[in-house]
Amino acid sequence: MNKKNALGKGLSALIPSYGEEKVEKHPENFTETKKLSTSAKEKVDKAVDNSNKVLQLPLSKVEPREKQPRIVFDEESLAELAESIKRHGVLQPILVSQKGDHYEIVAGERRWRAAKLAGLTKIPAILGSFDEKQINELALIENIQREDLNPIEEAQAYRQLIDEYGLKQDELAQRIAKSRTAVTNSLRLLKLDERVQALVMQGSLSEGHARTLLALADKKQQYALAQEILEKTLSVRETERLIKRMTAPAPEKKLAAYRDQTAYDELVLALRRSLGTKVSIRRTEQEKGQLVIDYYSVEELERIAALLK
């Protein structure tokens, strides 16, 4: 199997279509009716046991994978999917691999959870004959392409693909059909304090707020400011302004001497001696003003200019 090409298209290039199209609120509970090309069908036949046969597996025999990239499931959305399944059943089979006397979910854990919630005892499934590496990569990419991972889970899935499969960021971006910039920005979220990451995963802190916190190198500061954002319900723009003030370089200490008129008088005398002409300082406002150098001929101007150079 040309795994790289197939995975880049998600599971639609690996799993054949079943049933009629039903456009529900939850797209994972319907199957597209478009036919696979001959080449794609050949890839499916090599990867899927019993050709296109859908098995009805007991839910008790199906278990989620330990390395599932999705950790948090929205309970309200899951309940809505369960109601859809009660009305229409599970319209798109999940993909599983056999592990001893049970089956491990490669793709479709959300449907499996909703089916249990709906009170089903069996679930339609396709049994794959993928090796462990293919299963891991399939599961990661399928979850990423579902677009319902929270930002931290998505970043963790990117990191896992890069670390375990030796992908470069541009290769990963091409594989999942996203820009390299999007991948890079996502991975940067993993530099946040773990407590801040947890807030993002829980939905308490938005991705926009999280990105602004990356400007703080100190992780304790990141978490402290995250707490302040929640307590004061700061907007992203307000947070940016606050961080800008926090990270602004400390102003250089002014020379106290130049706040005194005597110091200015001494400076004027020193400049007159150096330039050999009349020099004056006109203070227009506090710590601002003009330095005026007089000249009385073109030759004197050229002499002063030479000295200044």
Which sequence positions are flagged as catalytic? 109
The SS3 call for residue 249 is coil
Yes or no: say if 200 and 214 are a contact pair by the CB < 8 Å rule: no
Pairing of strands 102-107, 62-63: parallel
Pairing of strands 55-58, 122-127: antiparallel
DSSP state of 95: E
Q: Which has the closest alpha carbon to 140: 111, 94, 106? A: 106
What's phi and psi for 151, nearest 5 deg? -55, -35
H or E element that contains 283: strand 279-285
Virtual torsion, Cα 186, 189, 195, 201, nearest 10 deg: -10
Neighbours of 225 (CB within 10 A): 22
DSSP assignments along 160-183, one per residue: HHHHHH---HHHHHHHTT--HHHH
DSSP state of 259: G
Pairing of strands 102-107, 94-99: antiparallel
Query: Which residue, chain included where needed, has tokens 């890069």?
Result: 162
Give the span between the Cα atoms of 75 and 70, in whole angstroms: 14
Q: Is 137 exposed, middle or buried (0-12, 13-18, 19+ CB in 10 A)?
A: buried
